[in-house]
Structure formats: structure tokens, C-alpha cells
Chain A
Amino acid sequence: MPDFDFAQPTSLNEALELFAAEGEVRALVGGTDIVDQLKTGRRNADMVVDVKRIPELQRLEVAADGLHVGAARNLTDIGEFPAVRADYGGLADSSVLVGSWQIQNRAGLGGNVCNAAPSGDTIPALLSHDTTAIVASSTGRREIALSDFFAGPGQTVLQKGEILVELVLPPSPDNGASSYLRFIPRNEMDIAVVGVGSYLQLGSGNIVEKARIALASVAPTPVRARAAEEVLEGNVLTDDLIESAAVTAVEAATPITDVRGSAEYRRELVKVLTRRTLGICRDRING
């Protein structure tokens, strides 16, 4: 492993001073991506800052404006949190799919987001819940819609000196539910060939009040399938409508052919997983 300096701040202000310093300063949460990337030279660091001991980054609670998840909170805690299981089903689904149990015990939600892999399992679920990223630097704070957060494979819009503090998911009403599914050729421990996170909110007469569909592993960043959302919204939810949305979702995918699957296969998977996640959302609302 290359040489780097190390710091373990216990307050956000102390951390933001460190991130403002010259050179490449990297945040460390679970280390499940960054330590391997440092070992193999895929990312570099002059300083590694362990942000797990900053209280704001460990937040996990429901407030009036929704669910707040600190960027350093581990995926096991998130997947087991009762409010996540009850009201943010897609986030619960995806938290327990990332890597292994060992990985989930260490890896932070903010780490999965900031690693910005096109295949990051938690990201479609967060996008389906209209998540906002709260970002801070030594000069201030700003909010970024998560749909504007990703700039390319492994790249975010965070500027030098900025870190992700927390993710805020708006309140999820009783008539709303989310779901995440990914396809991998094994049962566990693999990278999504395609992942789909969906959210549905149903009004009287089963009319879709709100729909969100987000896709992983089919573009340089996670993407929303906005045209498919429009197919759903304002219409009565039927199997035919779900099928029509699933077909439309494929338009948002611009997949490549690689070792995990061909572009054609990925487009087919977008259709299948969109159909299935929307069905699970409907079952969860009715269940």
C-alpha cells in the first residue's frame, strides 16, 4: 500500500479543516472500496481521513422532513432500522445486497454513494426516494439532489474540500412503497449486471400519484427512467400499465457490453426488473 497521512477527527469542523488542506484528501468510512483502490492504485491519497467518529455522519433517525442517514452509517444498521424496513423498502433491500455481511458491517451508505460506481446497489433505491445529499466544506453547506450528484464512473460533483454529511429521504406516506432488485448470475457477492429501484405512490382508485424508477449498471452513472415514470403517473395501475412502463424504461438505458453481460441482455433485464420492482411496490402498498 502507498504511504499516506491519517487523521481521525471527532467533529465535523475538525474534519472540514483537514479536507481543505492541499493534496488529495480521501474520506474513509468502511474502507471496503477505498482501501482496495489504494492498494491497487486505482485511487490515490496524500491523506486518509476516517470520518466514522463524527457524530453528524452517524445519524440515523426519522425527523419531520424525512429519514436522515449520516454518510458514515454502516449498511447493516440501515438495513435493520425499523423505519427503513417499514417505509423505505428499496433501501432495506439494497443495504443487505452490497457485498457480504462482513462488507455491510463496515461499508457506509455515503461510501457507496461517493464511490459512484454505476452499479452501486443503494443508489437506485435512494434516487427512487428523491434523496437529497447534504454536503459541507470549511466555507459552508449546500444541498444537492442526488439525481445531480453523479458525474461519471467513480466521479461525483463534490468539489475539493467538500464531503457528504448525510442523505435525506423525504417522508414516505402509507400509500407509497419502494423496492430494489438486481440481477447477478450467482445468489450473493457479485456486482449488478442491472439493478432497478422503483417507488410508487397510489391514490384512490389505484391511480399512480407518483412514480420513480432508477437504473444501475446501464449507463456511466445511475440514471432515472423519467419517461417510464410519466407513463405511470396519473393513470390507473394495471398489469398492462406496468408492462408499458417497463418497456419504456429501456429507453433510459445506454448500456455497454462487458464481461458481466451484453448491452442487449442488459436492456432486457431493465424491462424485467422494472416490471418486477413495480409489482413489489404495489404488493407492499397493499400488504
Chain B
Amino acid sequence: MKHISMTVNGDNHELLVDPSWTLLETLRDHLRLTGTKEGCSNGNCGACTVMINGRTANACLVLAAEMGGNEITTIEGIATQGKLNPVQEAFIKDGALQCGFCTPGFIVSTTALLQRDPDPSEVEIRTRLAGNLCRCTGYDKIVMAVEDAAAMLRG
């Protein structure tokens, strides 16, 4: 087992991790942060998207043992003080989800996208979110929600 210290959604965690544990398993099974979903487990679907030091990553392809000193943001860290983030509000308002399994990953990816570019074009939205798969919506409502969230955040 390896000792690591990492920050998850602002809280510091001291953990003993097995080298073979992924960050995804560690978040879900050991820290009980089950908002991050496991879809394909090979980096195609994006359901497990989290931010590591502000950049998105597939938690299923990251080893927990790598994470010493890093800051992780999961879907549980997107809302602040019990208040939904504008990205979450826009996804609800626009009906940008059906079964909801992909939604945490989309919210995290969208949050990272809008931190980088507050006014992305439709092409940029579709390109940056290409690593998040949704089998329900057909994506149009997701793109609409991202555009609405961007407008809300710009004020």
C-alpha cells in the first residue's frame, strides 16, 4: 500500500492506496463519492470525468497512487454551499439529460470548458465535449444547456 495525501473538493484526505486502485475506485468505494460514474472503464465514455488540478481527466485511467499532492474536483464539488452551479441549473432548465448517467461527467467537462472559454462556439462545445458520451439526448439539448450556462456565467 502507498500513502498519499490528496485534496478532494477542498478537503484533504490521507489514504493508504493499493497501486492497482484507480482514482475512480478510490473516490467511489473508499471516499464514498459515488457521483462520479463508471461507464466503459477505458477512457471512451467520460462518465468518470473529474478535474485534476483544474484539468479534466478520466478517473478510470488514473491510478490513485499517482495523486499525491493533487487537487481533485468531482461532481460533488461543483455545487457550492448547497446551491447549484449555473451549469447544473442550465442542464435542468434545458432538459439536457434523460437517464442521467453521463450527466456528472458532462457537468464537470462543461465547467472546465467555461473556465477556459466563457463564450465557446457550438463547434468548440462539441469538440471539447467529444469525450463525454450520451446515449439518450442526441446532444442538441446538452449543447443548448452549455450555451445557456455560458450566458448565465457571463451575466
Give the residues in chain A near B126, CB-CB below 8 Å: 187-188
Q: Which residue of B lies closest to A1 (CB)?
A: B20
Can you give 16 A-B contacts (C-beta < 8 A)? A1-B21, A2-B20, A4-B19, A8-B65, A30-B61, A32-B43, A32-B61, A35-B62, A36-B41, A100-B43, A101-B128, A102-B46, A102-B109, A103-B43, A105-B55, A105-B57
What is the size category of the interface that chain B forms with chain A?
20 to 34
Given contacts A31-B62, A100-B131, A187-B126, 20 further A-B contacts (CB under 8 A): A3-B19, A4-B19, A28-B66, A31-B61, A31-B63, A31-B66, A35-B60, A36-B41, A39-B42, A101-B56, A101-B127, A101-B128, A102-B43, A102-B58, A102-B131, A103-B58, A105-B55, A105-B56, A106-B62, A189-B130
Contact with B along A34-62 (1 / 0, CB 8 A): 01100110000000101010000000000
Contact with A along B1-38 (1 / 0, CB 8 A): 01000000000000000111110000000000000000
| Cβ-based interface call for B121 (8 A) | no
Give the residues in chain A near B115, CB-CB below 8 Å: none
Contact B57 A188 (CB under 8 A): no
Expressed in whole angstroms, the Cα–Cα distance for A4 and B63 within the complex equals 12
8 Å CB contacts to B: which residues of A85-144? 99-103, 105-106
Give the residues in chain B near A283, CB-CB below 8 Å: none
Majority-rule SS of B interface residues:
mixed
How far apart are B57's CB and chain A's nearest CB, in angstroms?
Answer: 5
| Cβ-based interface call for B49 (8 A) | yes
Expressed in whole angstroms, the Cα–Cα distance for A28 and B63 within the complex equals 10
| Cβ-based interface call for B39 (8 A) | no
Give the residues in chain A near B127, CB-CB below 8 Å: 101, 187-188
Q: Which residue of A lies closest to B50 (CB)?
A: A102
Expressed in whole angstroms, the Cα–Cα distance for A6 and B19 within the complex equals 6
| Cβ-based interface call for B68 (8 A) | yes
How far apart are B133's CB and chain A's nearest CB, in angstroms?
Answer: 8
Question: Which one of A2, A6, A35, A76 contacts B55 once the chains associate, using CB atoms below 8 Å?
Answer: A76
Contact A100 B130 (CB under 8 A): yes
Q: Which residue of B lies closest to A186 (CB)?
A: B130
| Cβ-based interface call for A5 (8 A) | yes
| Cβ-based interface call for B98 (8 A) | no
Expressed in whole angstroms, the Cα–Cα distance for A235 and B14 within the complex equals 65
8 Å CB contacts to A: which residues of B127-153? 127-128, 130-132
Give the residues in chain B near A105, CB-CB below 8 Å: 52, 55-57
Contact B58 A187 (CB under 8 A): no
Contact with A along B65-76 (1 / 0, CB 8 A): 110100000000
Contact B130 A187 (CB under 8 A): yes
Expressed in whole angstroms, the Cα–Cα distance for A101 and B55 within the complex equals 9
How far apart are B97's CB and chain A's nearest CB, in angstroms?
Answer: 19
Question: Which one of B18, B41, B61, B65 contacts A106 once the chains associate, using CB atoms below 8 Å?
Answer: B61
Give the residues in chain B near A100, CB-CB below 8 Å: 43, 46, 130-132
Contact B128 A99 (CB under 8 A): no
How far apart are B25's CB and chain A's nearest CB, in angstroms?
Answer: 9
Expressed in whole angstroms, the Cα–Cα distance for A187 and B122 within the complex equals 14
